[in-house]
Structure 1
Amino acid sequence: MRWLLALFLLAAPACAETLVAAGPIRAMSLIGPSDLVLVEGDTPGALADPVEAVGMEARVNLYPGRPIRAADLQPPAVIERNDIITLRFNHGGLLIVTEGRAMDRAGAGERIRVINLSSRTTVTATVVSSGLAEVGPGS
């Protein structure tokens, strides 16, 4: 009889959990551990591990008790709109460094429009780190 009980417990589905917001989280807010709660139940497309959300930024407003999906989050922005940043062009041994004004808000690895303050032209650059974006050939 014990082996039948053990077999039943092994065959029973594990209790899945879904990550939800503990309270209202405004868009562009950094998410911390206290902002999240795990609840019982499996919601398709929702995150189940708080590690995936902590340190990320809310892309949209998140409401208490609503499941959090990967599409609701983004890497935290390191450049804000209108920030004066360093623009770097490095190609074929040529290095040009100048200042620019960010036209958008972006995180590391994202593409951003920047006005080159020297030439007043708008270029597209990739955010490298806080205050630094790199322009590629043909941008």
Structure 2
Amino acid sequence: MTSCMQPASLKPVAVRRLVLLAAAVLFAGGPAEGAEGKKPLPEGKPKAASVTPAKPAVTSKVVVQEVTSEQLRQAVRTYLERRLKGKAEEVEVQILNVDEPVTVAPGILEVRVKGRGLLENFGRRLFDVALLVDGREVRALRVLAEITVLADVVTVTRTVQPQETLEAEDLTIARLPLPGESHDFLTEAEQAVGKRVTRPIRAETPVRMSSLAIPEVVHKGEDVTIEFKHGGLLIQASGTSKMSGHVGQPVTVLNQDSKREVRGIVVGPGVVRVEF
């Protein structure tokens, strides 16, 4: 008869050891808490990168002041008004080449137009302008401007032909543009009254000094009175003028009595005085 052997009963201590051994084998490859006690991140969630906050950018604000086209216009106008004082009634200025403001450093600003030579013609002109801050020149500009200068001048009320003599009723005053700083337009009617016109003058146009002459009161070939004066002695004789002339002009006359030519000064209509 064959007998079978029964395994011996396990003691409780041995059972606990087996359980611990099985647990160690089961969890040998698993994650374990680090030596410093830090818990591992859950699988599939990457660790966020550390970001240092950026410092705010520091911007430096540059302080400047602007010089506008209007300031340049006023400066050029003031310069011309001072220069033309007593010669013009109105000055108009339009800046042509400065649209955007010009920037300079802050401080006490002065816009100064530099003096130039004679302004022979108005209209489109270039001006040298200096920008000064606190008395020091910081920028130089070349400013192109359209200039119109108006003045009260003498004009004629009708078209006048050469050799005519102007009377008060032929003249009037009108405000018109001047051609340039140097001109010969008359500004007072009294300057033209009694003058002889040497070239045609159209109605409502300015009267120029160069278009007038003092009227001739002695004419070539006409009979004149010759006055010979010495101290308080005055002798008159008849003569013939060899040339035309106005009062105060020297002329040559022929003494009809002596048939000799003498030189004298025109002192009035038809009268030539000879000093001796």
TM-score, normalised with respect to structure 1: 0.73
Which has the greater radius of gyration? Answer: 2
Distance 2:255 2:211 in 1: 32
How far is the alpha carbon of 1:126 from its aligned partner?
A: 0.5
The 1:104/1:25 distance shift into structure 2, 3 A limit, reads: farther
How far is the alpha carbon of 1:52 from its aligned partner?
A: 0.9
Can you list the C-alpha shifts for 1:81-118, whole angstroms capped at 9, x where unaligned?
Answer: 22211111212565432111112222221211211111
Tell me the secondary structure at the aligned position of residue 17 of structure 1: strand
8 Å CA contact retained: 2:217, 2:247: yes
Tell me the secondary structure at the aligned position of residue 225 of structure 2: strand
Distance 2:193 2:232 in 1: 40
Tell me the secondary structure at the aligned position of residue 184 of structure 2: coil
* RMSD value, Cα: 2.6
Distance 2:176 2:196 in 1: 24
Distance 1:72 1:121 in 2: 36
Paired residues in the alignment total: 127
The 1:90/1:68 distance shift into structure 2, 3 A limit, reads: same
- Partner of residue 103 from structure 1, selected from 220, 242, 246: 242
Q: Which moved more, 1:14-23 or 1:25-34?
A: 14-23
Partner of 1:4: none
Structure 1 segment 1-139 matched on structure 2, within 5 A: 14-15=89-90, 16-37=151-172, 38-43=174-179, 44-58=183-197, 60-64=198-202, 66-92=205-231, 95-137=234-276
The 1:54/1:121 distance shift into structure 2, 3 A limit, reads: same
8 Å CA contact retained: 2:89, 2:152: no
How far is the alpha carbon of 1:134 from its aligned partner?
A: 0.5
Can you list the C-alpha shifts for 1:20-50, whole angstroms capped at 9, x where unaligned?
Answer: 3444322221102343343422342211211
Unaligned runs of 5+ in 2: 1-73, 82-87, 91-150
Distance 1:122 1:66 in 2: 44
Q: Which of structures 1 and 2 has the larger relative contact order (alpha carbons within 8 angstroms, sep 6+)?
A: 1
8 Å CA contact retained: 2:221, 2:243: yes
Partner of 1:3: none
